[in-house]
Structure 1
Amino acid sequence: MTAIADPRAPHAPARRKGPNLEKWGWIYMRASGVLLVVLIFGHLFVNLMLGEGIHGIDFAFVAGKFASPFWQWWDVLMLWLALIHGANGMRTIVNDYVTHPTTRRVLVWALWLAAAFLIVLGTLVVFTFDPCLGFDADTASDVIVSICA
């Protein structure tokens, strides 16, 4: 009896030495997915259900949240996990559908570079956010005045 090869798998790849990165990527996707559900629903609950709901979200609301290290780290953790989770998922799709090795390598590198750039940029925005730039006490809301005074 002849066995039929799996789709897009003309031959079984040889087992490499060292850590099994595909296994750790699979584990990361499950763990980060669970953690992201908690972080995202917490984020949505605080932003949409507490206080004035969606009508209360403005510059002062964001400034008030980013004045707290707890919310800075909450948002940064959500950012890091989501970007790495998404890049790893896209890497899996590229590996499944791009057959040319050089093209695959270029696309995977581009994915990780884009994710790294967005992680660095987003982290800088969260931790260097200063609501007091261009602060005008006459037109600012009470939250901004209390933060910048």
Structure 2
Amino acid sequence: MSTPLKTKIQVPRSRDLEVNGVKYNRSGASRSNFEMLAWLFMRLSGIVLVVLVFGHLFVNLMVGDGVHAIDFGFVGGKWANPFWQVWDLVMLWLAMLHGTNGIRTIIDDYAERSGTRFWLKVLLFLSSGFVIFLGTLVIFTFDPCPASADPELLASFCPAA
């Protein structure tokens, strides 16, 4: 029988981790529960997103004429109802925050240097914030019945049509 090899494996994310000549400069352990709360958020938001996305798909693809009914008028009529505005807003916010948190975790796991991690996270948070802001703006300022439009071009649910 051969004796098993004994190797010392460094603890991942330890302060002095060095692999193949690359030093990982990780900060010390956090005293907050941020990572635990982020983990919990991912699980809960995932469950809520499944309900929101399948509800969205069912209403858009199965009810009425299905996919053939989706056009400008369909979206305008849907967003004329505050229920669907809130539904789509919650879906947008949860999807963006869920995805951003997932990418943040990937950056923490795979970016080797602190500076790289910092700038990747800055770009991630700025782009995520921009998409959330722009999506929220579109949902609440979308007007399918502009006052100056030709009445023949307006959707059937508009008062001037």
Q: After TM superposition, is the score higher than 0.5?
A: yes
Could you tell me which residue of structure 1 aligns to residue 149 of structure 2? 135
Could you tell me which residue of structure 2 aligns to residue 126 of structure 1? 139
State the 1:7 CA deviation. Answer: 5.2
Whole-Å separation in 1 of the counterparts to 2:90 and 2:137: 13
Q: Provide, for residues 69-121 of structure 1, a one-character-per-residue CA deviation record: whole Å limited to 9, x for no partner.
A: 00000000000000011111111111111011011011011111111111011
Could you tell me which residue of structure 1 aligns to residue 79 of structure 2? 66
Could you tell me which residue of structure 1 aligns to residue 10 of structure 2? 5
Cα pair 2:100 2:125 within 8 Å, conserved: yes
Pair 1:115–1:13, CA change in 2 (3 A):
closer
Q: Normalised by the size of structure 1, how large is the TM-score?
A: 0.88
* Structure 2 portions without partners, runs of 5+: 1-5, 19-25
Amino acid at match of 2:42: M
State the 1:139 CA deviation. Answer: 3.2
Amino acid at match of 2:91: M
Structure showing greater radius of gyration is: 2
Amino acid at match of 1:140: L
**2:107 matches 1:102:** no
29, 33, 42: which is aligned to 1:15? 29
Amino acid at match of 2:51: V
Give the secondary structure class of the aligned counterpart of 1:105. helix
Give the secondary structure class of the aligned counterpart of 2:151. coil
Give the secondary structure class of the aligned counterpart of 1:117. helix
Whole-Å separation in 2 of the counterparts to 1:16 and 1:95: 14
State the 1:141 CA deviation. Answer: 3.5
Whole-Å separation in 1 of the counterparts to 2:135 and 2:153: 28
Amino acid at match of 1:65: K
Q: Which has the higher contact order (CA 8 A, sep 6+)?
A: 1
Q: Normalised by the size of structure 2, how large is the TM-score?
A: 0.82
Could you tell me which residue of structure 2 aligns to residue 47 of structure 1? 60
Q: Please tell me the root mean square deviation across aligned C-alpha atoms, in Å.
A: 2.1
Cα pair 2:60 2:67 within 8 Å, conserved: yes
Amino acid at match of 2:75: V
Whole-Å separation in 2 of the counterparts to 1:53 and 1:28: 33
